[in-house]
Each structure stands twice: as structure tokens, then as C-alpha cells.
Chains A and B, each alone.
Chain A
Amino acid sequence: GAVVSQHPSWVICKSGTSVKIECRSLDFQATTMFWYRQFPKQSLMLMATSNEGSKATYEQGVEKDKFLINHASLTLSTLTVTSAHPEDSSFYICSAKDSGAHQPQHFGDGTRLSIL
């Protein structure tokens, strides 16, 4: 089955640091990738939609200069949290889907980000 690999799985860093999270589709070409944020005991909240070779589309309220998304190839998208602060601490999950109708999103295992 389709596998999405997300790295790192856990990162702890100081306030002010920029953190990059990678999302890779291992056995299929992902024309579209999604980035979600999840707070404890809440469902996933879509942050942005990323299409290969074009600029990401951010959801309302998500700062595009804070959360930089790059989808440079059909198998890799990256999310960079710039100048991270404690309020950015969360569980970040990516998903990827192939083109075509009814294609499911395949989720990565998430990245636990803790900003001290």
C-alpha cells in the first residue's frame, strides 16, 4: 500500500529556532500534499495544501511566512516552522494523494514539535 514517511518524528528545540519537517511519498507520486496541525484530543486542522511545482494554498489564519512549504518534487514536501515559539508546539501531520478522483489521502506518522 501507499506509504508516506514523515521525518523527524519528534523534535525539541529552543525558542527562535527554525525547524524543517519532511514528508515523502515512498511508492507513489504525490501530486498534492497536505499539512495538518493537531492539538491534544482534537481532530486534524488543515494548514495548507501543496501542489508540486506551485505555491501552497494556506488556510485562513495560517501565516504563510511562519509556515514555509516547499513541494519541489512529486515525492517530497517540506514544512519549515520559522522562528518557532512555544505556542507552535503541536503535532504536525502530512498527507499525500495521487491525482484522480476518489484517491485517498495517505498520512505520515506525524512530527511532535516541542519548543522550549
Chain B
Amino acid sequence: KNQVEQSPQSLIILEGKNCTLQCNYTVSPFSNLRWYKQDTGRGPVSLTIMTFSENTKSNGRYTATLDADTKQSSLHITASQLSDSASYICVVSEETSYDKVIFGPGTSLSVIP
């Protein structure tokens, strides 16, 4: 069964600190993996997208890594800001004709002053 798991479920960090969120998946055949940020009461916004051949991708203070062999991904946030408080969702696409996606349960991040 295709699944996406994320850890931790929730995380509280001090402003300015770094953190790393984890994503494990069993989706096959694999197409790509995306990290989304969802602010409370808003729709998800794409942060990064990685295909099978990509190991790392950065978007400002966000850096995502992908290990396609172990089927793991991480999202590293550097120098966290209060505005980083949100839910971070790992989404893995299945290689089908309509690009079916499987959502992880998300990690709730709270950045406190």
C-alpha cells in the first residue's frame, strides 16, 4: 500500500533555531516528492519539488533532501522565523498517467520567540 509518513507530528522551536522534518514513503512507482507549507486556514503552498535523480533542493531558508534508495526525505529550515509556524506536508506522486499524489499527515511546527 502506498503510504507517506512524517515525523515528528509536532515540533516547537525557538526563533532563530534550525530544525529538520522527516518524511518516509512507500510509494511505488515513484514520480516526485514535494514539500508544502500550509498556514492555518490557508491552502498549501509548494516549497520544493524533487524527482528521482535529485538529492537536494533549496528554496531560501528551506532545504529539502531526497534519498530515493531509502525512500526518505527531509526538510531543513534554517534560522527559523515566527512566520515559519505552519503545517509542513510531504506529498509524493505516483508515476501514473494522472500523477496521483499521496499526502503525508503533516508536521505542525510552532516557532516561539
Question: Which residues on A are within 8 Å of B, measured CB to CB?
Answer: 4, 6, 32, 41-44, 49, 91, 93, 95, 97, 101-110, 112
Contact B49 A104 (CB under 8 A): yes
B60 close to A (CB within 8 Å): no
Which A residue's beta carbon lies closest to that of B32?
Answer: A102
Per-residue A-contact encoding for B95-107, CB less than 8 Å = 1, 0 else = 0001101011110
Evaluate contact between B34 and A107: CB separation under 8 angstroms: no
> Are B105's CB and A97's CB within 8 A?
no
In contact, B41 and A97 (Cβ under 8 angstroms): no
For B41, the chain A residues whose CB sits under 8 A away are: 91, 110, 112
B46 touches A104 (CB 8 A): yes
Number of A-B contacts (CB under 8 A): 44
Q: Chain A: which residue is nearest B105 at the CB level?
A: A43
Measured in the bound complex, the distance between the Cα atoms of B49 and A95 in whole Å is: 16
Q: Indicate which residue in B32, B34, B43, B98 contacts A6 across the interface (CB closer than 8 Å).
A: B43
* Given A43-B105, A107-B43, A112-B41, 19 extra CB contacts under 8 A: A32-B98, A41-B108, A43-B89, A43-B104, A44-B44, A44-B89, A44-B103, A49-B98, A93-B43, A97-B99, A101-B31, A101-B99, A102-B31, A102-B32, A102-B49, A102-B93, A103-B99, A106-B46, A109-B42
* Chain B contact residues, majority secondary structure: strand
A105 near B101 (CB under 8 angstroms)? Answer: yes
- Complex Cα–Cα for A103 and B32 (A): 10
Task: Confirm or deny: B56 has a beta carbon within 8 angstroms of a beta carbon on chain A.
Answer: no
**Residues of chain B lying within 8 A (CB to CB) of residue A106:** 46
Task: Give, as a whole number of angstroms, the nearest-CB distance from B88 to chain A.
Answer: 11
